């Protein structure tokens, strides 16, 4: 463990100048500033890169990815640069709209830096005050519980074991070297599950830090189905292109792990949830079939959809 590691904050952006600017300003306002900020700009056309550069922060590096690589691709580029060129000890993974409160990074490092542990921030919806996503934690040696609001956090605990994390995760160099880079081909809606699973398989554990907070909007229509002892969470009302990546990437992950049954099951659950909550539509049916076909054949990367 070391008390003064070199930390890079990284995020990807695409044509969301105001969000990216606010994220950068929040990073600059940290009580313990990151040593480096690396932004994977997915060839934005709205002046995002110029606006970020105009902030005049010498810790900022903007990498033009040359095309829209999605969040997964943009973060992969930024993270790899931070570790290889920036020589950092850890990377703090953010979204352009996950805005850290002033003491967020300091809280992650308050008990020292552990190169064998993935500590992570908590995401709170700034309008509702609840966690942006359901948070499974285990305090001490107790049972696992899923909490939805800061009031449910275990008393007298600054940190708690968690199952996984993506946005807000501080990934140590040792974890990146062992698990490998982020899989940019997932584009969006998949890296948040695939990479934490790889980290866990590489032997790294996750720990949530109560006082490290990101303001991050939650899913608008998040729903839960309880199936046996497992929760299936899904978001209704997605645009077809987002629905495609959600189905393709979650099903592909199951197929890759050798579970054909689970791959079909997760795809069918998405279809059933869509039919129940949104009704049938030809475009949704076509998108679902395309996503499942690509998941089964391992066809990843970006898919272009009509505008």
- 104 neighbors 30 (Cβ within 8 angstroms): yes
Distances (CA, A) of 200 to 17, 36, 39, 164, 210: 34, 26, 26, 8, 21
Beta-bridge mates of residue 61: 38
- 209 neighbors 111 (Cβ within 8 angstroms): no
Choose among 285, 217, 301, 210: nearest CA to 252. Answer: 301
Residues of the chain whose pLDDT is less than 70? 1-3, 307
Tens digit of pLDDT for each residue in 75-100? 999 999 999 999 999 999 999 999 99
In the three-class reduction of DSSP (H, G, I as helix; E, B as strand; rest coil), residue 20 is classed as helix
CB-based contacts of 302: which residues, under 8 Å, 6+ apart?
Answer: 68, 69, 70, 187
Measured between alpha carbons, how far is 46 from 158 in angstroms, rounded to an integer? 41
Q: 7-215: which CATH topology?
A: Spore Coat Polysaccharide Biosynthesis Protein SpsA; Chain A (3.90.550)
Domain ranges of the chain: 7-215, 222-297
- 25 neighbors 215 (Cβ within 8 angstroms): no
Measured between alpha carbons, how far is 11 from 93 in angstroms, rounded to an integer? 6
Axis crossing angle, helix 260-278 with helix 282-297, rounded to the nearest 10: 170
């Amino acid at each position: 463990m070391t008390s003064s590691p070199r930390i890079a904050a990284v995020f990807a952006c695409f044509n969301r100048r105001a969000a990216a600017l606010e994220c950068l300003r929040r990073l600059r306002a940290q009580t313990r500033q990151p040593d480096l900020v690396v932004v994977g700009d997915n060839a934005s056309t709205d002046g995002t890169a110029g606006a970020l550069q105009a902030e005049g922060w010498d810790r900022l590096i903007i990498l033009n990815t040359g095309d829209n690589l999605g969040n997964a691709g943009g973060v992969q580029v930024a993270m790899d640069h931070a570790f290889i060129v920036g020589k950092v000890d850890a990377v703090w993974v953010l979204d352009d709209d996950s805005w850290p409160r002033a003491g967020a990074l300091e809280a992650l490092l308050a008990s020292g830096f552990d190169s064998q542990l993935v500590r992570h921030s908590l995401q709170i919806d700034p309008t509702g005050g609840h966690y942006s996503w359901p948070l499974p934690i285990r305090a001490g040696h107790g049972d696992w519980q899923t909490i939805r609001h800061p009031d449910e956090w275990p008393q007298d605990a600054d940190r708690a074991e968690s199952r996984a994390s993506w946005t807000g995760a501080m990934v140590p160099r040792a974890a990146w070297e062992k698990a490998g880079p982020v899989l940019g081909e997932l584009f969006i809606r998949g890296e948040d599950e695939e990479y934490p699973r790889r980290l866990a398989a590489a032997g790294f554990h996750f720990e949530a830090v109560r006082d490290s907070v990101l303001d991050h909007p939650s899913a608008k229509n998040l729903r839960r189905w309880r199936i046996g002892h497992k929760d299936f969470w899904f978001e209704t009302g997605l645009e077809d292109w987002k629905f495609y990546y959600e189905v393709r990437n979650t099903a592909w992950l199951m197929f890759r792990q050798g579970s054909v049954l689970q791959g079909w099951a997760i795809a069918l659950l998405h279809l059933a949830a869509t039919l129940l909550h949104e009704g049938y539509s030809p475009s949704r049916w076509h998108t679902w079939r395309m996503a499942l076909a690509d998941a089964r054949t391992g066809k990843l990367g970006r898919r272009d959809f009509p505008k």
